[in-house]
Amino acid sequence: MNIAALLTSAGINIGLCILLLSLYSILRKQPTNYDVYFARRLAQVQGERHDPFCFERFVPSASWLVKAWETTEDELLGDAGLDALVFIRIIVFSIRIFAIATVVGIFMVLPLNYYGQEMQHKQIPSESLGVFTISNVKEGSEWFSAHVVALYVITGSACMLLYFEYKSLTSMRLAHITQSPTNPSHFAVLVRSIPWSPKESYSDSVRNYFTKYYAATYLSHQMVHLCGTVRKLVSSATKIYKVIISTSIEQGSKPILRCGLCGTTTSSFKILSSEESTKPGNELKSIESGSRENECSAAFVFFRNRYSAYIASKVLQSSNPMLWVTDLAPEPHDVYWSNLCIPYRQLWFRRIATLIATVVFMFVFLGPVAFVQGLTEMDHLTKMFPFIRGLLKRPYINRVVTGYLPSVVLLLFLYTVPPVMMLLAELEGSISRSGRKKSACTKVLYFTIWNVFFVNVLSGTYLKQLDSLFVVKDIPRTLGQAVPASASFFMTYVFTSGWTSLAVEMMQPLVLIYNNFLRYILQKDPPVSSAMSFPYHTELPRVLLFGLIGFCCAVLAPLILPFLVIYFSIAFLVYKNQFINVYVTKYDTGGQFWPIAHNATIFSLVLAQIIAMGVFGLKQSTAALGCTMPLLICTVLFNEYCRQRFFPVFNNTAAEVLMEMDWQDEQSGRLQEIHQKLQSAYCQFTLVSDDFCKAGHSVTDETAESVQDPHSIVVHLE
């Protein structure tokens, strides 16, 4: 690929970005599109919509850029949570490190690559991109010392920035635990694989076990029920509404809307059958006693303090590790209820099966990736499609096909990956939604690194050398030969999957089409409660993949670095805008996506150093090769230090922190109030209305009177 083809790809993507962002700035001003572009705000505040006709509504503006830029980290933390702030900090880290790499690469490395050999250069538009890579430096050149210095500067800067980010985010996570409102999950333990007994129910077994071994700290428990019970709840939803309203009128009190499946209470109610509902004087009774046949071998066990719950979740409860398995409970809104009933003995098989399915899917994807890489080679393309030989003789068509089409085709194939990985993560048996998303994020990251980076690097003629990857000593040499040759494809991929995807993210085309279909075709208002949570499993792997490409090409092909800085700068504004206006934070992991980003960055640095060593070996520069090895060792040692110093805080909670929080609650007299709320925190089948029960489980007389439609009651399964 030459410079002209690269500029053609850049021009097409810049034009698309300007068009889409201009269209976004117009569409976001239309009141009918508020459900798409301000979903998070509408989910929090219900207000009147004014639809004044003015010319300003149809003129592109950059007001959203100003708002995103002015939003501080504290505001973002308060509005979107710690996970959102961690994601933005990852982008800020990328801007900083690649700004440093751009200065070093463009002013130190690029001129040496360009004049690396004595040759007659062409005019810049016709110049091949290969002359800007390290491949253009002659063998045994003394100029490789500059490449080593650049590698040291970039790696040292990255490690220093990683250290300060890890330290800062560790403090934020501790503050998230200690300063946030009382979290019921701190007092709850999820118990699975409860032994079956013919003499007593699962509930009695749990009560007897924890009363015996945790008599001083055990508070209560709540069984997990089979999801088939929901059918009864759905069929009786209207009758429940009538019973609640009639009871509140007769007793003149505020009824407690608490499901009998979700803890014992004197105010719990029963799902009435059609026969029972017709009997006069029917009283509400607890359905807990009649639900034993629907119990799973899993339960939430509540303790009197955080420290006791944490100890119980970490201790081996039985001499048989497959019985009485305990884990820290997820937050109530984070629980993935349908996976709690999976027999614990199946989980190991599910994990192995999903791992095999992931690997198989990765290798099945080799076909599309090899096909895409073939589009960048004219000879290979004309052999596959002889009838387009005449079209490819035209310069502009040639530039579009080789410079733009491959990255577009690959991007379309990659859109199928996140849904597949999310399905595999669900089948894996995660007990929480955030755990499922973290698992999917890791799978997508591995998939994109393998298929977008390694397979593209080794495709074509290098795919025949795939067996050399299994010989350790040949890995640096193979990658060192292949990566510089693939630099042109990665540049166009940054344009298409980077710049254009950010503009598409702003537009939200699928949600926009869906909402307009509901509004204008079905004549229905889109539900405000349908606001989405941020797709970390899609966006985080993309950001980390660009970081990998940037580190690996920083010394080998530094021309890509300015384009990456532009991408991360736009991403900083785009994602902040989306967190502020679009996505709703339904659950928060407390910043646990940062260790994934840290490990991916360390892997990128190590891989970049291995590839550089391979290039130095191919170029017969023994001195440069020897100077790079200590840098590799220091990077690994730095990662080990961070793993020992910071990672345990993200993986566990310190005992002193939990005991201090327990002591503060005891001194303030809030323990009794917390214990009462635990009884209704984890409600598997919660009956709520669109007009009441949004802040808690109580229904006031005023809100009950305002609800006129019994069909507005819906059943939330999770």
Among 61-75, 111-125, 426-440, 444-458, the range scoring the smallest mean pLDDT is 111-125
Confidence of residue 618 (pLDDT cuts 50, 70, 90): confident
**Looking at residues 616-627, what average pLDDT do you find?**
89
How far apart are the C-alpha atoms of 61 and 58, rounded to whole Å? Answer: 9
In which band, very low, low, confident or very high, does the pLDDT at 432 lie, cut at 50, 70 and 90?
very high
pLDDT band at 634 (very low <50, low <70, confident <90, very high): very high
The stretch 520-532 carries a mean pLDDT of 73
Predicted local distance difference test score (pLDDT) of residue 228 = 55
pLDDT at residue 148 is higher than 70: yes
Residue of 416, 105, 187 lying closest to 114 (CA atoms): 105
CATH number, domain 184-239+292-330+672-685: 3.30.70.330
Strongest mean pLDDT among 114-118, 181-185, 639-643 = 639-643
Could you report the per-residue pLDDT of 239-273, keeping only the tens digit for each?
A: 565 556 555 554 554 444 444 455 544 333 344 44
pLDDT of residue 696: 35
Give the pLDDT score at 426. 92
Given a cut of 50, whether residue 464 has pLDDT beyond it is no
Mean per-residue pLDDT, 347-353: 93
H runs (alpha helix) in 45-143 = 63-70, 73-80, 82-104, 110-114
CA gap 718, 337 in Å, rounded: 6
pLDDT at position 315 is 93
For every residue of 365-405, DSSP letters joined together read THHHHHHHHHTT-HHHHHHH-GGGTTGGGSHHHHHHHHHTH
Residues in the chain: 718
- Tell me the average pLDDT across 221-245: 62
Does the pLDDT of residue 127 top 80, yes or no? no
pLDDT at residue 357, rounded to an integer: 93
Residue 278 has pLDDT above 60, yes or no: no
Give residue 35's pLDDT band: very low, low, confident or very high (50, 70, 90): confident
For 350-356, what is the mean pLDDT? 94
Q: Give 542 or 693, the one with higher predicted confidence.
A: 542
User: Has residue 707 got a pLDDT over 70?
Assistant: no
Question: What per-residue confidence (pLDDT) applies to 532?
Answer: 83
- Most confident region among 188-192, 341-345, 613-617 by mean pLDDT: 188-192
Distance CA 558, CA 561 (A): 6
Q: Residue 12: which pLDDT band, with cuts at 50, 70 and 90?
A: confident
**In which order are the strands placed within the sheet that holds 325-328?**
218-225, 295-303, 188-192, 325-328
Instruction: Tell me how far apart the alpha carbons of residues 307 and 302 are, in angstroms, rounded to a whole number.
Output: 12
Q: What is the mean pLDDT of residues 623-627?
A: 92
The first and second tokens of residue 259, run together, are: 């499901």
Q: Is the pLDDT of residue 577 over 60?
A: yes
Q: Please report, as a single letter, which amino acid is at residue 207.
A: R
Mean pLDDT confidence for 528-552: 88
Looking at per-residue confidence, does 411 or 214 come out higher?
214
Q: Residue 659 pLDDT more than 50? A: yes
The model's confidence at residue 483, banded by pLDDT at 50, 70 and 90, is confident
pLDDT of the residue at 170: 95
Phi, psi of 613 (to 5 degrees): -65, -40
Give the per-residue pLDDT at 436: 94
Mean of the pLDDT values across residues 600-605? 97
pLDDT digit string, tens, across residues 369-419: 766 666 555 555 556 556 555 665 566 566 666 556 676 777 778 888 999
5 pLDDT more than 60: yes
CB 132 within 8 Å of CB 559: yes
Question: Per-residue confidence at 456, pLDDT binned at 50, 70, 90?
Answer: confident
Number of Cβ atoms within 10 Å of the Cβ of 72: 8
Percent of the chain residues topping a pLDDT of 90: 42
Structure tokens at 306: 């955080």
pLDDT at site 269: 38
**What is the per-residue pLDDT for 531?**
72
Is the pLDDT assigned to residue 698 strictly greater than 60? no
Q: At 60, is the pLDDT very low, low, confident or very high (cuts 50, 70, 90)?
A: confident
Average pLDDT over residues 100-108: 94
* Per-residue model confidence (pLDDT) at position 575: 95
Give bridge partners of residue 190 from the DSSP assignment.
300, 327
Read out DSSP for 635-669?
A: HHHHHHHHHHHTHHHHHS--HHHHHHHHHHHHHHT
Mean pLDDT of the chain: 79
Q: Residue 461 pLDDT more than 70?
A: no
Higher-confidence position of 46 and 149:
149
Q: Which of 52-66, 224-238, 566-580, 698-712 has the highest mean pLDDT?
A: 566-580
pLDDT at 102 > cutoff 70:
yes
The domains of the chain are located at 3-182+345-653, 184-239+292-330+672-685
The yes-or-no verdict on residue 646 having pLDDT over 50 is yes
Top-ranked range on mean pLDDT: pick from 73-87, 408-422, 481-495: 73-87
| DSSP notation for 545-606 | HHHHHHHHHTTT-GGGHHHHHHHHHHHHHHHHHHHHHT-------SSTTHHHHHHHHHHHHH
Q: Which range has the worst mean pLDDT, 120-134, 147-161, 198-212, 356-370?
A: 120-134
**Average pLDDT in the 15-39 region?**
86
pTM of the model: 0.83
pLDDT at 523: 79
pLDDT at 299 over 60: yes
Mean pLDDT (whole number) for 222-235: 64
Q: Which residue has the higher pLDDT, 107 or 452?
A: 107
pLDDT at residue number 227: 67
Asked whether residue 547 carries a pLDDT value surpassing 50, the answer given is yes
